[in-house]
Structure 1
Amino acid sequence: MSKKHRHEEHEEHQDESWLLPYSDLLTLLLALFIVLYAMSSVDAKKFEEMSQAFKMTFNQGNGILENTAVIRTGEDPDNIKENDKDEAAEKEREALMKQEQEDLEKLKKQIDQYIASHGLSAELETKLNQSQLMITISDNALFSSGSAEVKPESKELANAISAMLQNYTDYEIVVSGHTDNQPIATSEFKSNWDLSSSRAIRFMDILLQNNKLKPERFSAIGYGEYRPVATNDTAEGRSKNRRVEVSILRKYTDPNNTQQISATK
């Protein structure tokens, strides 16, 4: 009888305090596995949010989540630096493209105002697209028929264009001559190639009388009859094809966008 009484007393006073550290251990293990899982993720923002949440939960001033560093798995630190450099270079390029667009739009506006104020809309036009700002000048505004000498009264136009270009000396400028398909054979010009090339050079010569321009930025070329903008079957079409073009070339171009931005005739 006394043995049975002692056995029941022993069971009644059994020590179960081990359950508390055991439950704490399970909680810590759960937290550890969650942290390990989070560290395998490349989402630094979510990891930081989770880290802060655990700090608040456990309220431990300095614990395993203090001073943590996120390691982006599968990423080479050198590649990350290179990507940052590429991103910075792209931003700089975009800024330069924006500035260039503003420059060319400003120059186009100046030329258009000159055309309007001098009643030259029938002889000149400007076009701005993703590759260049082009000034097209009808041949009869500059030359007599079959001649490459700029008319004395037309030199004012060349000088006005030159004065406007002197504020944009960092751009490459191409002066090109064009003719219609009517053959020419004189003592001075053997072909339309000769005539178109000579006209481009003579007009460029006048532009470069302005010593504020950089000759190394200029080039002249003759296309003869081979780049028409209209039909050569009519007198009106042939008149449009006889022209000199001054092209201010962009330094920054977007190959994915060839849409013309603006034009005036």
Structure 2
Amino acid sequence: MSKKNKHHEEHIDETWLIPYADLLTLLLALFIVLFASSTIDNDKFKAMKESLNVAFQKGDGLILDMNKPSEPIEMNQNDTIKLEQLKKQLDQYIQDNNLSQELNTGLTENYVLLTIREFALFDSGSAIVKPLGREKVSVIGTILDEYPQYEVIVSGHTDSVPINNYQFESNWDLSSKRAINFMKLLLQNDSLDPKRFSAIGYGEYRPVSDNATEEGRAQNRRVEVKIKRPD
């Protein structure tokens, strides 16, 4: 046998290893996606998705992401459950007191948003909380007392009709004062930590409805209470 043929026989064709390795990578990726999507933790699913993107683009990020500590994910899961619990408490209060025309709630993965219509708290053009409004604020404060680690942001909103009287030069002033007064009433509950609270006025610049109609303007005149889970 010639040296040439002997040399050829010693080098076995190994090109089949490349598609085989790709197949294994795809199977692993499929398993991870199925595992992540079977849980209710959105943060974990996003982390897995980002890991897969890195793995396919660079081929070296998957193992590192899989080895991240699981504790933060568990905390996120617990906080999500607490947010759902908080929303249920607020919804129950609204239902028990027939306040669905005055208050409503929304939920994201990071916070609960409580929206309070203007007429439930203030007279037109005023930043003084009415007596019945004070009762609502007190109940809300009692509920918030059960969530001592959560940040609370109170924001005031108006419609687009200009205001200019001896008290308020603009809707900025009115919305800010309403937010501050609402927050101050919340903090009359001594159990609440003022460090967790802030107030801001947005004037007419964050509408939720069309200011061209009376109903739309009424929806825009509101106070929002955003209760955020810890970062």
TM-score, with structure 1 as normaliser: 0.62
Partner of 1:190 in structure 2?
A: 169
1:1-20 → structure 2 map (5 Å cutoff): none
Amino acid at match of 1:194: D
- Rg bigger for which structure? 1
**2:148 aligned with 1:153:** no
Q: How well do the aligned residues superpose, as a CA RMSD in angstroms?
A: 2.1
Secondary structure at the residue paired with 2:195? Answer: helix
Regions of 4+ moved over 3 Å = none
| 1:220 corresponds to which of 195, 199, 202 | 199
Cα distance in 2, alignment partners of residues 205 and 113 from structure 1 = 24
**Matched length:** 173
Where relative contact order (Cα < 8 A, 6+ residues apart) is larger, the structure is 1
Instruction: Give, as a single letter, the amino acid of the residue that structure 2 aligns with 1:180.
Output: D
Distance 1:224 1:150 in 2: 18
Give unpaired runs (5+ residues) of structure 1.
1-81, 253-265
Question: So what's the TM-score if we normalise by structure 2?
Answer: 0.71
Residue identity (%): 53
Matched, 1:102 2:75: no
Query: For 1:173, what is the secondary structure of its paired residue?
Result: strand
Alpha-carbon displacement from aligned partner over 1:164-207 (angstroms, at most 9, x marks no partner)? 00011111110000000000001100000000000000000010
| Distance (whole Å) between structure 2 residues aligned to residue 245 and residue 132 of structure 1 | 12
Aligned equivalents of 1:169, 1:225: Cα separation in 2? 31
Residue in structure 1 matched with residue 50 of structure 2 by the alignment: none
SS at structure 1 position matched to 2:113: strand
> For structure 2, which runs of at least 5 residues remain unmatched after alignment?
1-62
5 Å matches for 1:54-73? none
SS at match of 1:220: strand
Which amino acid is the alignment partner of residue 105 of structure 1? E
Instruction: For 1:109-124, list aligned pairs within 5 A.
Output: 109-124=88-103
Structure 2 residue 140 is matched with structure 1 residue 173? no
CA contact (8 A) 2:149 2:229 kept: no
